[in-house]
Structure 1
Amino acid sequence: MADFFNEWWGFAIAAIVAFGILACALLLWSQSKVKVKIGTDGKPLPAETTGHVWDGDLMEQNNPLPKWWMWLFYLTIIYSIGYLIVYPGFGTRQGSFGWSQVGAYEKEMKDGEAQYGPIFNKYLAMDLKAVAKDAQAHEIGQRLFLNTCAQCHGSDAQGGKGYPNLADSDWLYGGDPQTIKTTITEGRHGQMPPMGAVVGSDDDVRNVANYVLSLSNSAHDPIKAALGKPKFAACAACHGIEGKGNQAIGAPNLSDKTWLYGGDINTVMETINKGRNNQMPAHKTILSEGKIHLLAAYVWSLSNSSNVQVSGADAAAVNQIATTASSTDVSASAK
């Protein structure tokens, strides 16, 4: 795409715009030369037809265009020339007002910061758990979540295959408010390398998968699980000898029944063979620190509704939302 943003492209756009305006003007001028023909008796002659006839006598006549209609088009041409003088649009010319979409966006953001900045700053000075209990902060946080996070985690924060559930108590990196804020701010990059070649043959991979399933007492083959236990040593460096995981590096706990991609034998084998590579983008370049603070408090409240009793305006409705979000099915979370 870089090839389209050079000096030549600006000249090409200017040429296309100029040609379009000139062509419209010439077309209108040529049509203005068509006059109504007058007979020797001083009366208009019957108009010529285009040759199209419908229903026997319904003809399309080739009358000259009305003057008022043509002048309207001339006015649009004059308006377009004035617009191109004032605003950008003629190649690389910036316009006499210096207006730009970037400038308009930056002004709008600046005006918004001046209007709403004090609200975010007020909550930024508060502890995250205290923010989570405020009804107005909870509502603002929910809207930030719907606009920024729901595309991946769902509007109910229940996640999906490959996207963690944020409404349960299972966390890859930790579920305390400050860790959640760090996750939103800096993002996370969770990577499990392909382990199939390290584990061994296809049978070894199947045995290890059965052993992994046995850790959470999920459906598995006990004999194959026993054979896979020694091979699990290759995985213990990250997940621990007991498969409890390691939040310091985002290694999932394999001993519960919470799975990010699924807990059936084929999915676990696929994970071992191919690995996984997930990334949550950093939001520090998208959201201000105040917005991240509110968003972190809201996310924390989803899995801590029993510890959060929202107070303030509309608190009853907000408490109902938080309770619903944390009490629904939580089978799709963090592994």
Structure 2
Amino acid sequence: MNDTAPGGLVDRYDLVVFDLDGVIYLIDQPIPGAVDAVSRLRQRGRRIAYATNNASRRSGEVADLLTGMGVPATPDEVLTSAAAAAEVLADRLPAGAAVLVVGADALRAEVRAAGLRPVARADDEPAAVVQGYGPQVGWADLAEASLAVRAGAYWVATNTDRTLPSARGPLPGNGALVAALATALGRQPDLVVGKPEPALFRTAGHRTGAIRPLVVGDRLDTDIAGAVGAGLDSLLVLTGVSGVADLLDAPATMRPTYVAFDLAGLTDPAQVVAVPDGKRAGDGAAPTGWTVTRDGAVIRLSGAGDPLAALALLCDAAWSGGSVSTVTADSDNAREALHRLQLAG
């Protein structure tokens, strides 16, 4: 239905870099179809990496979790923001320097493994504060971090994800906790390590020697923005945080190269569509059947065809100028397509 390679989208790339939460699994349960999708990539001999902003698990723990779900993985395939943050601090600070850790035990372990000394109180005069997601993080932790930063500690955030996905819906992420501390301090962290910063993606490429990686994620503001910043192609899957409504409203810095409902789009050309970005003229062209018109902030879809083909045209119309307030349908088939895309008809 689109311009992907005949054998599948993945055959255009020599490395696939997956986000985890919302792409491979939700919390600790695999997303339907994810196990089979990764297995098909392994069978094709495609190199794989996992890059996650979640700082609550170490690389080995993540690899064990994936393997337990039926997705074989090794620690060297997993890149976490916790490990990346610890490496950054190890390069900046002398061995054994005190680092106040706000986050889970995994982040403390990464700091210790990097040759630094994790502490919990500002009275220990830490040279740096590193802040990552942890379900037990509370006011007392933020208070100690605030005192340490005010005293001159270098402040590093593993990531600034505002939310994290769950089976019950989005929950507050590390970005929400970073925002609380930033409000108290009146400033932002000195450094953010995780996505949308491009470091994790670039590290994955360097580790594997890949020339053309593809980033697969569920969040426009982290996964896709990070890929755009790193100059890499990306696939947005609609199994996690960002939906089609978010996509239609996305600025150029958060627009993916491709969109699919799930990971089947990696190998099945009928399950993925290229979306226009103003630079790839004609890439998002859909088969005949759909007509999209725009009147101010209102977009109208009529005709019949594949919902993903309609999505490419909707993106083209939405990104052609100004924000979109309403997407409407002028036919029963169009209403069904908008329902499939989780847009009001």
Give the TM-score taking structure 2 as reference length: 0.25
Q: Which of the pair has the greater relative contact order for Cα pairs under 8 Å at 6+ separation?
A: 1
Relative to the length of structure 1, the TM-score reads 0.25
Q: Going by fraction, where is strand more abundant, 1 or 2?
A: 2
